[in-house]
Structure 1
Amino acid sequence: MKNINKYTKIKNFSLLTYYALVVIRIVLVFIPQYGYIHPDEFFQTSEVISGETFQLEATRTWEFNTTMPIRSYAIPFFYLRIPMAIFRIFSTFSRIILNFDLLSSYTLLVFPRVIMCILSFVNDFSVFKICSLYNLKYDIRLMALASSGVMLTFGIRSFSNSVEMLLCSLLLYFVSDSMILSNTVIYQKEYLEEKYEKAKKVGERVKYFKMKMSLPQHSYNNFAILSTICIVGIFNRPTFMLFGFPTIFHWMIRGFGTRSVTFFDFNIRMLLFIISGLPTLFVIIIIDSLYYGYLSLAQIYIMDVKIESFLVTPVNFFRYNLIPENTAKHGEHPKWLHMLINIPLLYNVLGIIAVFTFGSMFYKFCKKEFNNLPHSQSFVSLMTSAVFAPVLLLSLFNHQEPRFIIPITVPLIMLHAPKLITGINVTSFLKESKWNVAKFLSNYIDITISGKIILRLWFLANVMFTLFFGFIHQAGVVQLADYFSKYHQMQPSSKQIHLVTSHIYKLPESLLILPHASSLYTNPQTGQTYKMKRRFFIHEYGGLKMEEMFKKTKLLSDVAENRMTTKNINYDLFVAVPTSKAFELNQIFHKHRGIFSFKEERIFYPHLSTEAFPNIHQVFHPCEIDIVDENEFDEQCVEDEVLLSSAVWTRKFTSIAQQFGLVVYKIEVKHKSF
């Protein structure tokens, strides 16, 4: 009775926490999260879609070039382009009827995340259905999923990895459904066959034969939907092949080792799986071929279609990524990064438990202790392979980012979420270790980490993860875009605006709401068509040193001054850098104060660029403009540090805090040349 009451309390707590976290997930979309996790959130999906839907200036990255495109347009077309087209209709009506424009930097940021937030509940659905199939506790697993920092940040962003995650979750559900059905039907079939063989009377044999024939078909269950998911997954992100292979393999080998299933069934399953995916494959290839200009409707109409007219983007993706020099351009990482760093980073305590559990299983496999390993067609085998087979395969590539492995979220939680309640026994890991010292210690110590401790660590780590990636990391960039989207609308159409940036991620140009320069517009009064002149220019210099950036800014100002003199084109010049670089930049401008005057226009907090970490030894305020002589300042700082006064420590703390920002300076030229 006590155990029942305890379980009921745990279940109620877990479900209430889950529902609260669902609300938080939705709220985090609308707040919104200004944290800028990675440029691919924008430049692989929403940037291109927004630019085309609303005819805005947008950055079209190399992945969408027409010579060798590696990103399929068909997948984001269905889940983002169509909803955005509907949103555009509402925006047009609201502007005409209500005189209120729905189109803004905020809505372009939030709308794709609303779509992704809705789609993210596919993961929740899959967890619930899998738990129902295997009669597992769904409450703790749903709570663990909803509280994961991965779901609260990556899951509601327009990453192709987030779509890959939900497709992997669906794949796991349908394969689990097929496995349960096959296991049930095969068991009943073999039981009835045994009864049939033992029956002596004809009537009994007829009864058992009819019962066996009434059993549902199971061998080819869900083959069409599984094939469709795989085709969509591969075109969304070709690495889906690595995530889908172990799951589909478990679907293929269902029932092996019994009299009911043979290699003939395996071959038929494979054939049906391949054939059923052809319609989806054909539709996606046609859409991509039309979009990138390899194929036209006119060619289809006159039946002038050749093999070169069809584009298969995953082929280009693999052609590009199989060349080590290409992946090295995006960063080279050690082979162990996914296993030892990225899994613990994404899943903290559960990730560490998962790695150690897999290590224990691998050790048993190497020792040929196969009896102590899960059966190849079991739930544990399915989920373990869904986690570690793709991670190990992805580890072979030299470019590794945490977001690449977020599709393992659901299977990892399915395996290890209950430990948030039950806890773990560390001694059992020591006993299975290959190290004699660990085995020796396991005889004398008994270390058990309670579920309460693990649960608290889980919540704490995920809160920190969400705060960092959701609200701090590069968070000033999106705020910067929002600021200039309003600023340029208030300026006269004849004025040009130049923005120089350094040590921050690439600015999503679509968030600036700039009309596309090549688009034709019609004057409603005269009926004449015209084009908008581009008047906002972004000059991004990545991690360039401040001295080099100053030289480029000086050259840019010279060109702008010349145009103002010869063509009467007025301009504004701004520089945006992390506040951790502000003092260095101030010193440079201070040396040239006879040429430039500059003022602090705005600081956006919080913002942290890993390319420009705050200087903890700094005791000055980074955005100060009226600085004293550098030598006098250093001497004064030394005297203050020796005194160790409370004022110095207060100033030091505020100095460090102020470095977590993004500062914008407006630059004006006093003289046209040095």
Structure 2
Amino acid sequence: MLLSKFEIFAISIGILVSIQPSYIHPDEHFQSLEILTQFFYGIKGTIPWEYDPQNGARSFVPLMLYYGPIFYFFSNILHINNPVILLYCVRLQHSLSFLLITYIALCYIIPKNDIHRSRTYAYVITSYVTWSFQSHSFSNSLETLILLATITTFSIQIGRSNENHWWLSIFQGILITLGIFNRMTFPAFILLPSLIVFWKYFLKHIRNFLVLILTIFATSAVCILVDTSLYDSKTYIIAPMNNFLYNMSVSNLSKHGLHPRYTHILVNLPQLIGPAMLYIVPHNKREVKSSFMSLQMLSIYSALMVLSIFPHQELRFLTPLLPFVCIKITEHHSTTFFKIWVGFNLIMGIIIGVFHQSGIADTLMKQKYYQEQNISVHIWWKAYSPPTWMYMNDNLTVSTTNFIENIERIDNINFGIHENYIIDLKGSDLELANDTIWNFIRDDFTKNLTLFYPDSVEGKVLQILNNTHLSYEKVYHTRRHLDLDHLDGDDLTTFIPGFSVIELQYTQ
């Protein structure tokens, strides 16, 4: 399956989008890069709840295996601590890994139809999900790679059911274990496909099934021992179990947002695949029958069914399904539909992959705070949580907001700190932002304070600045920032793109 000129062009566009400073969701930083940078560079920053030793809800093993070589190479061999280089290298690694693994996987999943395989790859590489979500350092992005590899092994076993692939069972066991330790939702994607593989292959090769089970247990034991050591815990850390127990509590999930059970099917999936929703449902009896014999379609049904049980549902949870969706819609390929598909993904690619919340990373890149030994108090307001790892600061203090008895407060805030301090106000109200700024300035009139905010809330910021005892200077501004979280139809200024940084100081 050689690449055509169009495919090479589409891949080039995707790689270009992947190295834009867009910011889709905080987890792309805080479930991977934040932890890795602290481990390899010894800096200080934000500790996500999952990696708090008291919770131990995320495994270090998938992170170390996938990202570890890059971080070790830059930190221990090249001694480079530039976060811009690290961010771009990680995103390029994700993009190229996905393109390569998808290419190989399609050769086994669709082994006898070159046209179908080529068209499927064309749909995959022209998807904005490939360009943006899949290139970012989400655990879902890694989950996609593991899922593709796992379904590929399933396809080989079914296609060669009379052969004894004991070595493939070992590889499969390692993949499944890493998938579970990467995200506890991984079994949802392979539940139904596993039943078909068990029926068509493992019943004929029980010894291979035992090899698979033993490999899963052995790999799990290694992961548990590594995590227990890295968490420095006196008790065994079983990260997937801890994560599962956390997610079984509705009160815990309410901290991250509760959604109706239909959100994945009626909201997230349409955003993910756009016009392809027309073809994802079987149109006749033949398609119904073929769907329930297709590993990729069973993976789609399995994931939607299981993930919809949980009341916390985000679009990125479904991104591993994209390659399988593309296999399905290729059956209904037409030139007109493909043009509509490309148009939809170009629009979404520009919004999500290029401009969405991009002012945050762009500011940290351009201002080069990682080159400064000491910074002032930095207050971030009405923006996604700043990726504190990009400061590369080994003396950083971070405080953020939390709701205590339905009242939003800042955890462990210390107004006496005037250097290397990050305050993440998230989406807090005007009163809390105003009080926070003034409490810092009143404590020490001689110190500067830096405020970061999207231009969509410029009007509210001006209300804070409208004081004769405050002087301010805008030190950085970019129009390359799209804030979709604070739009207000009654205030058209909230639709203005941009991100600003101002320095505040008390005046007599």
**Is the counterpart of residue 53 in structure 1 residue 40 in structure 2?**
yes
Of residues 479, 498, 507, the one that matches 1:661 is: 498
- 1:379-435 per-residue CA deviation (whole Å, 9 max, x = no partner) reads xx3221111111111011100000001111122111212423xxxxxxxxxxxxxxx
Q: How does 1:510-521 map to 2 (within 5 A)?
A: 510-516=389-395
Kept after mapping to 2: 8 A contact 1:128/1:142: no
3-state SS, counterpart of residue 444 of structure 2: helix
Q: Which residue of the partner structure matches residue 388 of structure 1?
A: 301
CA distance in 2 between partners of 1:608 and 1:517 (Å): 28
1:229 positional shift: 0.9
**Is the counterpart of residue 320 in structure 1 residue 246 in structure 2?**
yes
1:124 positional shift: 2.5
1:456 positional shift: 1.2
- 1:215-243 per-residue CA deviation (whole Å, 9 max, x = no partner) reads x447x673222211110100011100111
Residue 240 of structure 2 aligns with an amino acid whose one-letter code is: P
Q: Which residue of the partner structure matches residue 138 of structure 2?
A: 159
Of residues 22, 44, 49, the one that matches 2:11 is: 22
CA distance in 1 between partners of 2:292 and 2:212 (Å): 19
Q: Which residue of the partner structure matches residue 597 of structure 1?
A: 471
1:344 positional shift: 1.3
CA distance in 1 between partners of 2:39 and 2:395 (Å): 9
Of residues 202, 216, 227, the one that matches 1:277 is: 216
Using structure 2 for the length normalisation, give the TM-score.
0.89
CA distance in 1 between partners of 2:396 and 2:147 (Å): 40
Kept after mapping to 2: 8 A contact 1:55/1:516: no
Kept after mapping to 2: 8 A contact 1:500/1:538: yes
**Is the counterpart of residue 540 in structure 1 residue 424 in structure 2?**
yes
Q: Which residue of the partner structure matches residue 89 of structure 1?
A: 76
Q: Which residue of the partner structure matches residue 210 of structure 1?
A: none
Kept after mapping to 2: 8 A contact 1:105/1:485: no
**Is the counterpart of residue 587 in structure 1 residue 453 in structure 2?**
no
Residue 21 of structure 1 aligns with an amino acid whose one-letter code is: A
CA distance in 1 between partners of 2:88 and 2:152 (Å): 29
1:572 positional shift: 2.0
- 1:274-323 per-residue CA deviation (whole Å, 9 max, x = no partner) reads 1132222222111111101126xxxxxxxxxxxx4x22111101110011
Of residues 331, 336, 347, the one that matches 2:262 is: 336
3-state SS, counterpart of residue 289 of structure 2: coil
Q: Which residue of the partner structure matches residue 442 of structure 1?
A: none
**Is the counterpart of residue 37 in structure 1 residue 24 in structure 2?**
yes
Q: Which residue of the partner structure matches residue 436 of structure 1?
A: none
Q: Summarize the Cα distance change of 1:341–1:373 in structure 2 as closer, same or farther, 3 Å threshold.
A: same
CA distance in 2 between partners of 1:486 and 1:281 (Å): 40
Of residues 385, 407, 413, the one that matches 1:506 is: 385
**Is the counterpart of residue 400 in structure 1 residue 313 in structure 2?**
yes
Kept after mapping to 1: 8 A contact 2:455/2:497: yes
- Identity in percent: 21
1:496 positional shift: 5.0
1:614 positional shift: 6.0
Kept after mapping to 2: 8 A contact 1:141/1:418: no
**Is the counterpart of residue 409 in structure 1 residue 396 in structure 2?**
no
Q: Which residue of the partner structure matches residue 473 of structure 1?
A: 356
Q: Summarize the Cα distance change of 1:254–1:77 in structure 2 as closer, same or farther, 3 Å threshold.
A: same
1:579 positional shift: 1.0
**Is the counterpart of residue 234 in structure 1 residue 212 in structure 2?**
no
1:269 positional shift: 5.2
CA distance in 1 between partners of 2:344 and 2:287 (Å): 33
**Is the counterpart of residue 245 in structure 1 residue 124 in structure 2?**
no
CA distance in 2 between partners of 1:372 and 1:485 (Å): 55
Counting matched residue pairs gives 488
CA distance in 1 between partners of 2:370 and 2:185 (Å): 41
Q: How does 1:626-645 map to 2 (within 5 A)?
A: none
3-state SS, counterpart of residue 506 of structure 1: coil
Residue 318 of structure 1 aligns with an amino acid whose one-letter code is: F
Residue 211 of structure 2 aligns with an amino acid whose one-letter code is: L
Q: Summarize the Cα distance change of 1:501–1:375 in structure 2 as closer, same or farther, 3 Å threshold.
A: closer
CA distance in 1 between partners of 2:470 and 2:426 (Å): 23
Of residues 137, 145, 168, the one that matches 2:116 is: 137
Q: How does 1:158-557 map to 2 (within 5 A)?
A: 158-182=137-161, 185=162, 216-217=163-164, 222-254=168-200, 265=204, 270-294=209-233, 308=235, 310-354=236-280, 356-357=281-282, 373-374=288-289, 378=293, 381-420=294-333, 451-486=334-369, 489=372, 496-516=375-395, 535-557=419-441
- 1:181-223 per-residue CA deviation (whole Å, 9 max, x = no partner) reads 12xx4xxxxxxxxxxxxxxxxxxxxxxxxxxxxxx447x6732
Kept after mapping to 2: 8 A contact 1:164/1:407: yes
1:248 positional shift: 1.8
**Rg: which structure is higher?**
1
1:249 positional shift: 1.6
Q: Summarize the Cα distance change of 1:452–1:595 in structure 2 as closer, same or farther, 3 Å threshold.
A: same
Kept after mapping to 1: 8 A contact 2:377/2:418: no
Kept after mapping to 2: 8 A contact 1:162/1:406: yes
Residue 124 of structure 2 aligns with an amino acid whose one-letter code is: L
Is there any run of 5+ residues in structure 2 with no aligned partner, and where? 398-416
CA distance in 2 between partners of 1:617 and 1:159 (Å): 34
Of residues 68, 72, 81, the one that matches 2:55 is: 68
1:268 positional shift: 5.1
1:487 positional shift: 8.3
CA distance in 1 between partners of 2:475 and 2:145 (Å): 42
Computed over aligned residues only, the root mean square deviation of the Cα atoms, in angstroms, reads 2.6
Is there any run of 5+ residues in structure 1 with no aligned partner, and where? 1-10, 93-101, 186-215, 256-260, 296-307, 365-370, 421-450, 519-532, 565-570, 623-654
CA distance in 1 between partners of 2:291 and 2:272 (Å): 27
Q: Summarize the Cα distance change of 1:406–1:342 in structure 2 as closer, same or farther, 3 Å threshold.
A: same
CA distance in 1 between partners of 2:242 and 2:328 (Å): 36
1:165 positional shift: 0.7
Residue 317 of structure 2 aligns with an amino acid whose one-letter code is: F
Q: Summarize the Cα distance change of 1:55–1:217 in structure 2 as closer, same or farther, 3 Å threshold.
A: closer
Kept after mapping to 1: 8 A contact 2:363/2:476: no
Q: Which residue of the partner structure matches residue 402 of structure 2?
A: none
